Every structure is written in C-alpha cells, then in structure tokens.
C-alpha cells in the first residue's frame, strides 16, 4: 500500500475568474478577462465568467462541500479588480469583506487557506491606461495591491502564492494572443515575463521585510510539462533540456540563481531584457517553496529545419527561438484537451527540479484531468480521472521515496468551471456543476480523494 506522511498537504484549487461570477457586483472593477470575453469568437460558444458557478454568493455551501470531502487545504485566488477596481488607488471594502468572510469560513471548518494573489485577471484599467505587464511600473502597482492583501488577510493566511503560471500570461496573453489581453508578438512575452518576475520579487521582499510577524510562507507557482528526448541522440537530449529551460527555467532560474538561463541569453540576445545587479539580488532566493502545476509530457527533438513541424499545439515558448519539435506518442491516452497522460513524466520533472534547484520543498499546486463528464442517474462516471490521479500520485510517491521533497498536492479543480478560451466545454472538476441550476454533485474522484486523505494513502 502506498502511504503519504501524516503532514502531507492534501488540497484542491480554483481561481477567482473561473468560479466567482458576480463580475460587476459590489464595486468590483472589470478585468482583462471580463473584456476579452466580450470579443466575438475568442471564447468557445462566446461564453464568459460573468456568473461562473456563482461562488461569490455560494461560498459557504462550497466550503461545506470541501469539508465533507476531507480536504485539509484550499487554494483560491483573489481578484485584484475586486480589491482595487482600477488596479491602483481606491480600495473596495466590499471586496475585502468577501475574501475575509471566505477565509474565516475556511478556518472555521479546519481548512487551511492557500491564497494566490494573481491568477491572470489583471484589472482592465491597468491594461488600457498603463499597458499592463508591458509597463515597468506594473511591479509597483502589484506591490501596492499585495500590501493590502497582507494587511487585511495576513493575520489568518499563512500560505501565499504571488503569481500563477506567469508563462501563460507571457506566452498565451502576449505571444500567441489566445488568452487575455490577446496580444500577438515575438518580443512582448519576454518583456511581460521580465516584469512579472520583478513583481513577484518585490511582493516577496515586502512580505519578508514588513510582515515577518505574520510568520507565513510565500512563493510562486510555475507550470511545466515534461520534455522527454525523442531519441538518445545528443541533439535530441539537448533539445529536450533547452525546451525545459525556455519553459520552466525562464521563470525558475532567476528565482533560484538570480538570472535567466544562459541558453536563453545566448539565443535571444537583446530581445531578452536584462536584470540589473540590484534586481538580481532582489530576485534570487525569492521563494520559500517551489510551486508546480503539471499536467502532461511530450517528446522533444532537435528542429533541423527540414520542414517537419510539432504535432501538438504550442511548444512551451516561441518556436523559432528554441529549435525544438514536439510530438506525442500515439499510444498515450489523451484528455479532452488532447494532453497526454504520462505519469512517469511527472516523476522525471520532479526529479529534474530537485536536481537543478538544490532539492527545494515542492508543492504540486495543480494536477488534474479534463474530460467531457455527463451526469447520469445523479452520478458521474469519471473512472478515467480516477486512473489519472492514481497514476500521478503513484509517481509522486515514488519521488518522495527517492528523496524528493514533495510536501503537498492540490487537485485541479474543486469544481467544473469556466475553462478560459474553452469556456464551459470541458470539465476539470472533482465536483460536477449543472450550469443551468448550478447544482453541485460530487464525482467518484471526490469520494476517492476523501478515502486517500483519511488514510494518507490507499
């Protein structure tokens, strides 16, 4: 029987725009996602998060569900525009009250809050008036915002995540244009990423200098898929490593080493912004833990420019900068997002992180399975999701047994919800949502997690 330690953190996760709804209620300002969703054909079926699953009004019911399923921790994000409608200046006290009440409800039910300060929903005013993450002043605006969060919630919140998946913000938001704010460029992603890293570092410094009395921890969550060399040829091995550095190393290397990976500096030249010596000092060692969102694996091969293209969407960055071709094995099962199910890739990524970054404490802050669940006779048959979780947790357990300091696991997601550009067409949750009635129905996977958490294994 596989067992996890009794202090292993079992949690599940959500984000504000995906579940809260109440998009313009009680003084909340618009975010870039509120705006992006109004552009025709950007979101599947032209859907939006205006109502979401109405968590804003039903949070007590949702916390009760969390408690009934045995979860010990809950990761959620705060909407910057609900706290500061214009992204700076005036504070919205009704927004403060909502998150304060949610935190109190969690604690009352013995659930530890893990708070993400930014999960992609930038206040629209900062994008329209200040060029969003392209403006170097954004780091100071972010610092002002997080200070309010530390002041108002830090007496009860002891686990902070500054940014969720800055790679997504940079590449999908400013590179490929498929996520808000919808910009397409081969240079803006590197500038946006630069400012995201500095914003993270400034927030951490503020917390470490002015809020040490709160005795909490603070870090960042990055996303990464594993890149397995297609062959044992040195060129393919180098391509896989390069792909990882352009994906995860892009954001993790500055935080652990103080600067970007050398391969990025060599290949990008002046297109990659440079940190000053003071900024390097600010950024280095600016995370108490390694937050990781992981879902899938791909094969990586050297692009010899023969005309062969990646067989999968995207490649972890801007393709012409990496010279990497990505493919999937046809034998690998696929999720509804066409993401391959490859548990051993999770193990290898954890091992790579541990070796490269000197064995940090790691928390998997997202991992999950998307499929087209349906409700039949009041139940959801999500055996594929159960198999996914079981296999990935086996890989996690193997990593722990081999000395990797994996301390916790958050299943994505607590609920079916608005899945960004895919709208409501795919389901990630361990709880089914009827989008007409907004009724919550636990899936088999939720009941399975309850048994795991109770027994610390299976």
Answer yes or no: 366 catalytic: yes
pLDDT in tens, 221-266: 999 999 999 999 999 999 999 999 999 999 999 999 999 999 999 9
pLDDT in tens, 140-171: 999 999 999 999 999 999 999 999 999 999 99
- Reply yes or no on whether the pLDDT at 317 is more than 70: no
pLDDT in tens, 338-368: 999 999 999 999 999 999 999 999 999 999 9
Q: Sort strands 375-376 and 379-380 into parallel, antiparallel or unpaired.
A: antiparallel
One of 127, 188, 241, 366 is an active-site residue; which one? 366
Looking up tokens 């054909």 gives 41
pLDDT in tens, 369-389: 999 999 999 999 999 999 999
- Reply yes or no on whether the pLDDT at 192 is more than 70: yes
Predicted confidence band of residue 318 (pLDDT cuts 50, 70, 90): confident
Q: What is the DSSP string of 125-187?
A: HHHHHH-GGGSTTHHHHHHHHHHHHHHHHTTT--EEEEEE-HHIIIIIIHTB-SSTT--B-SS
pLDDT in tens, 46-58: 999 999 999 999 9
One of 105, 165, 228, 302 is an active-site residue; which one? 165
Domain ranges of the chain: 9-455
User: For residues 122 and 86, what is the distance between their CA atoms, to the nearest angstrom?
Assistant: 10
Residues of the binding site: 18, 119, 164, 295, 412, 419-420
Identify the pLDDT of residue 313. Answer: 47
User: For residues 346 and 390, what is the distance between their CA atoms, to the nearest angstrom?
Assistant: 12
Q: Which CATH architecture has domain 9-455?
A: Alpha-Beta Barrel (3.20)
Q: How many CB atoms lie within 10 A of CB 26?
A: 13
Residue 309 contacts residue 323 (beta carbons within 8 Å) = no
Answer yes or no: 281 catalytic: no
Q: Residues of the chain with pLDDT > 70: what percent? A: 97
Residue 9 pairs in a beta bridge with: 408
Residue 102 contacts residue 188 (beta carbons within 8 Å) = no
Identify the pLDDT of residue 311. Answer: 59
Residues of the binding site for substrate: 18, 119, 164, 295, 412, 419-420
């Amino acid at each position: 029987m596989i067992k996890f330690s009794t202090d292993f953190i079992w949690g599940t996760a959500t984000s504000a725009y995906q579940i809260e709804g109440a998009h313009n209620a009680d003084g909340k300002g618009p975010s870039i996602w509120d705006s992006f969703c109004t552009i025709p054909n950007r979101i599947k079926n032209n859907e939006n998060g205006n109502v979401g699953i109405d968590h804003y009004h039903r949070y007590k019911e949702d916390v009760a569900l969390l408690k009934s399923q045995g979860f010990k921790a809950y990761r959620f994000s705060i909407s910057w525009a609900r706290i500061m409608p214009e992204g700076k200046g005036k504070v919205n006290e009704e927004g403060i009250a909502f998150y304060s009440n949610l935190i109190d409800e969690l604690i009352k039910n013995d659930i530890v809050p893990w708070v993400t300060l930014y999960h992609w929903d930038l206040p629209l005013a900062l994008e329209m008036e200040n060029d969003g993450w392209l403006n170097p002043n954004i780091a100071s605006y972010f610092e002002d915002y997080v200070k309010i969060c530390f002041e108002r919630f830090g007496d009860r919140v002891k686990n902070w995540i500054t940014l969720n998946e800055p790679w997504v913000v940079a590449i999908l938001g400013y590179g490929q244009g498929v996520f808000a704010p919808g910009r397409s460029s081969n240079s803006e992603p590197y500038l946006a990423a630069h400012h995201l890293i500095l914003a993270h570092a400034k927030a951490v410094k503020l917390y470490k200098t002015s809020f040490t009395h709160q005795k909490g921890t603070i870090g960042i969550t990055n996303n990464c898929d594993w890149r397995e060399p297609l062959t044992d040829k040195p060129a393919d091995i180098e391509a896989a490593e390069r792909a990882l550095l352009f994906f995860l190393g892009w954001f993790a290397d500055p935080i652990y080493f103080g600067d970007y990976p050398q391969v990025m500096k060599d290949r990008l030249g002046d297109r990659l912004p440079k940190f000053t010596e003071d900024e390097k000092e600010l950024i280095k060692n600016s995370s108490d833990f390694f937050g990781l969102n992981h879902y899938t694996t791909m094969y990586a091969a050297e692009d010899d420019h023969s005309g062969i293209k990646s067989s999968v969407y995207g490649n972890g960055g801007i393709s012409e900068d990496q010279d990497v071709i990505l493919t999937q094995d046809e034998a690998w099962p696929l999720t509804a997002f066409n993401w391959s199910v490859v548990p051993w890739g999770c193990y290898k990524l954890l091992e790579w992180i541990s070796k490269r970054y000197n064995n940090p404490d790691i928390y998997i802050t997202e991992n999950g399975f998307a499929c087209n669940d349906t409700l039949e006779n009041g139940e959801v048959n999500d055996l594929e999701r159960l198999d996914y979780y079981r296999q990935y947790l086996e890989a996690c357990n193997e990593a722990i047994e081999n000395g990797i300091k994996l301390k916790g696991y958050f299943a994505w997601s607590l609920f079916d919800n608005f899945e960004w550009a895919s709208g409501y067409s795919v389901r990630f949750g361990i709880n089914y949502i009827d989008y007409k009635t907004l009724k919550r129905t636990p899936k088999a996977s939720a009941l399975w997690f309850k048994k795991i958490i109770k027994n610390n294994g299976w």
